[in-house]
Amino acid sequence: MLISLSHAGMEDMGVSTSRSSLERLEFDNVALKKLPLDPSTEPGVRQVRGACFSRVQPTPLKNPKFVAVSGPALALLGLDADEPAAHCYCGHQFGQFAGQLGDGAACYLGEVKAPVDQSPELLHENPTGRWEIQVKGAGLTPYSRQADGRKVLRSSIREFLCSEAVFALGVPTTRAGSVVTSDSRVMRDIYYDGTPRMERCSVVLRIAPSFIRFGSFEIFKRADEFTGRQGPSYGHDEIRTQMLDYVIETFYPEIHQNHSDRIERNTAFFREVTLRTARLVAQWQCVGFCHGVLNTDNMSILGLTLDYGPFGFMDRFDPDFICNASDTSGRYSYQAQPAICRWNLARLAEALVPDLPPDRAEQVLDEYLPLYNGFYLSNMRKKLGLLRMEEPEDEMLVTELMQTMHNTGTDFTNTFRSLSQISCPTQQEGEDESEVIKQATELLLQQCASLEELKAANRPTMDPRELAMLLSMAQSNPAVFQMISDRKTVARQLERLSRLKELMDTTAEQLRAKQTEDWSCWIKKYRQRLARECESGVDVTDLQKERVHVMNNNNPYVVLRNYIAQNAIEAAENGDLSEVQRVLKVLEKPFSVQEGLEKPGWVGRGGVADSEERDETGEEGNTSGAEARVLVPYDSKPPMWANEICVT
């Protein structure tokens, strides 16, 4: 499968395939040379002690077929490999130590030396000059637990598209070279509701300098005081030190060279991981991206976005946005991400003791929040076009913008994209400030939610009887309440109820008047701040051109909204792979309007899809009674059918 994948991928890029992929590529599998490999080849799921990798044998797919290929990602390497292995790691999942996890569906194929003509920027990002390649969904490993080591078409398409979309947004991430599907099938219960169905097995080719994560160091953890679980390699401290040396020497060579003292070196390493993590989550927040499962096993030691499961880009702005339907407590909500990343850094620090003394780690962790705030505010200034000066009130301007977006239910991506259309004050006599503010307000009102949309968004997600029971229990039996729920979850439900009651007493006209008032107030403050950019004899015309250029290169025109991904998935499941390829082209240039690619080429459920097409089970598609889908542009607010999408 992999050799044919290499030929097809390289031919798509116009590269000669006269030699096989294995002959063309130069492998240098440093990770397997420097870190212990499990000597056992015993098949099946098991605990792996004293090793960082296990040998595995990928299971072939039946009749594999390309869904899509990312030329820019494949250009990083060449392809293919001959030494499959799976990585052992642990992790804190939803706040609890889970013990051994590991690559349950991913196989390390090897490390490919980068082509000699690779750009200096890429080599700065990856100082090793090697790219680790993996296949995800290739079958059982010792870490598959109760699973089968397979991935299905829908999750593979989501990971493939989002990996490349996040890269194009300028956010550090692992990459995806291709996605392949097949005639092999596995049973999946998509919504965990007892109605499983057969789905196509699919494989994603993943690329990164390394897939080592925070949880890689937790395999040495002593017995956890809450769960009683311990890492499978507890007591093998020499391997932990060996892995730490490998990571620093290989991926942080400047730190290794600049520090002869090991404690100073390890502290500098942890400081750099902290900085990269703070910068990464600030970038997520500024494009409205939610990871969905920020467990320690999904946090990259290199500060990359890692493992795309139930991710989501926000549509209507909501600080409490939860993209993972399984996250009932909101632990990994949008606004929680910065604090969760710090919590995960603290778990990494614990895993590095005594190589990293706790007092030194705590000093570094104290730097996290100022670092995050600095990165976030710097990014936001670019998104708002505040280029010439940094003023103390900028933070409040951003805070008030986000509050206004929340109050009015505006679309996150489109609102920021619209701000470049609000011009700098010209200081000319003929300019009517009130008219400018009115026009700008009308522009942003187009992105506001309707009354019905806000009512739907604020309905409690908990059954009223259950909520009443929890409120009673919180008063009468706090100990039991603490075991089955938490005050934060209940408070969120009460807040929704309060907001819903307020909306029920509001008319559409009253809501629009309030939205108009809120936006007019903020735009007036924004224009006052822009006026200060024009002081000191600045040419306003030149400033406005520069400002629009910077803003339109920091505020994407399109992101991978759930409805865009879902439409592409359903097209592929109905045998039309062109929509995945079309979406990939759009996402590769997210800051630009690409002529001819403004709208999808496929839409399901009563839309342009042929009702005679068969679905993946071989049965005829049935669209009766289903809502006909409207062909909306990729930059559109989500259509009504998008509310049905549930990602777990």
Q: pLDDT for 52-70, tens place per residue?
A: 999 888 888 899 888 998 9
Residue 81 pLDDT > 50: no
Q: Report how many domains make up the chain.
A: 2
Residue at 336 is within a domain: no
261 among known catalytic residues = no
User: Mean of the pLDDT values across residues 267-293?
Assistant: 98
Residue at 108 is within a domain: yes
Q: How many CB atoms lie within 10 A of CB 116?
A: 6
User: Mean of the pLDDT values across residues 616-620?
Assistant: 35
Q: Are 645 and 562 in contact (CB under 8 A)?
A: yes
Question: What span, in angstroms and rounded, lies between the C-alpha atoms of 400 and 189?
Answer: 43
Q: How much of the chain, in percent, has pLDDT values that exceed 70?
A: 90
Question: What span, in angstroms and rounded, lies between the C-alpha atoms of 389 and 323?
Answer: 36
Q: Counting Cβ atoms within 10 Å, is residue 42 exposed (0-12), middle (13-18) or buried (19+)?
A: exposed
Domain end among 208, 234, 260 = 234
Residue at 452 is within a domain: yes
Return the pLDDT at 612. Answer: 35
Residue at 592 is within a domain: no
Residue 359 pLDDT > 90: yes
- For residue range 177-209, list pLDDT tens digits in order: 999 999 999 998 877 778 889 999 999 999 999
Count how many Cα atoms sit within 13 Å of the Cα of residue 561 in the half-sphere of its side chain.
Answer: 25
Q: Are 420 and 552 in contact (CB under 8 A)?
A: yes
Residue at 201 is within a domain: yes
Lowest mean pLDDT segment, chosen from 27-31, 312-316, 404-408, 463-467: 463-467
Residue 145 region by backbone torsions, left for phi larger than 0, else alpha for psi between -120 and 50, else beta: left
pLDDT band at 558 (very low <50, low <70, confident <90, very high): very high
- For residue range 207-265, list pLDDT tens digits in order: 999 999 999 999 999 999 889 999 999 999 999 999 999 999 999 999 999 999 999 99
Nearest to 559 by CA among 323, 329, 385, 377: 323
Return the pLDDT at 21. Answer: 57
Residue at 170 is within a domain: yes
Domain housing 471: 430-537
- For residue range 486-522, list pLDDT tens digits in order: 778 888 888 888 889 999 999 999 999 999 999 999 9
Catalytic residue chosen out of the listed positions 38, 297, 355, 411: 297
Residue 319 pLDDT > 90: yes
Output phi, psi for 85, to 5 deg: -155, 160
Domain end among 491, 516, 537 = 537
Return the pLDDT at 357. Answer: 97
User: Mean of the pLDDT values across residues 267-291?
Assistant: 98
Residue at 104 is within a domain: yes
pTM for this entry? 0.90
Q: How many CB atoms lie within 10 A of CB 530?
A: 20
Residue at 94 is within a domain: yes
Residue 332 pLDDT > 80: yes
Lowest mean pLDDT segment, chosen from 50-64, 106-120, 310-324, 404-418: 106-120
Return the pLDDT at 74. Answer: 82
pLDDT band at 478 (very low <50, low <70, confident <90, very high): confident
Question: What span, in angstroms and rounded, lies between the C-alpha atoms of 180 and 175?
Answer: 15
**DSSP string of 152-183?**
EHHHHHHHHHHHHHHHHTT--B-EEEEEEEEE
How confident is the prediction for the chain on average, in pLDDT? 88
Question: What span, in angstroms and rounded, lies between the C-alpha atoms of 410 and 402?
Answer: 10
Domain end among 520, 537, 554 = 537
pLDDT band at 76 (very low <50, low <70, confident <90, very high): confident
